[in-house]
Amino acid sequence: MADGFDIHLDEDRARRLRQAAEAAGVDVRSFAVQVLDLALEDDWAEDFSRAAEYEKTGEFLEADQWMQGLQESIRARYKS
């Protein structure tokens, strides 16, 4: 298992990240970690995977199929 890794951002992304961190009132490293944590929690990883699969294959879900999946997910999350 990897202990971690460094990531290089191009000039534009680095600038935008600094601006967003400043607007949030936190240092840029903490902000970047928070953004990564948000992107990796819940269904974001699955969403990115689906987007990559679409880019590769062009296959997609119809709107009603997507809506049904969303409704099921919400019901499951908020079940009493």
- Predicted local distance difference test score (pLDDT) of residue 61: 75
Cα separation, 28 vs 4, in Å, equals 18
Give the domain range for residue 63: 43-80
For residue 71, what are its two tokens?
């409704």
Q: What is the pLDDT along the chain (80 residues), one digit of tens a residue?
A: 568 888 899 999 999 999 999 999 999 999 999 888 877 776 667 777 778 888 888 887 788 887 888 888 888 877 75
Contacts of 27 (CB under 8 A, 6+ apart): 21
Same structural domain, 15 and 33: yes
- Predicted local distance difference test score (pLDDT) of residue 43: 67
Residue 47 lies in a domain: yes
- Predicted local distance difference test score (pLDDT) of residue 13: 93
Residue 60 lies in a domain: yes
Same structural domain, 34 and 50: no
Check: CB of residue 17 under 8 Å from CB of residue 31: yes
Same structural domain, 79 and 58: yes
Check: CB of residue 17 under 8 Å from CB of residue 28: yes
- Predicted local distance difference test score (pLDDT) of residue 29: 93
Cα separation, 66 vs 51, in Å, equals 13
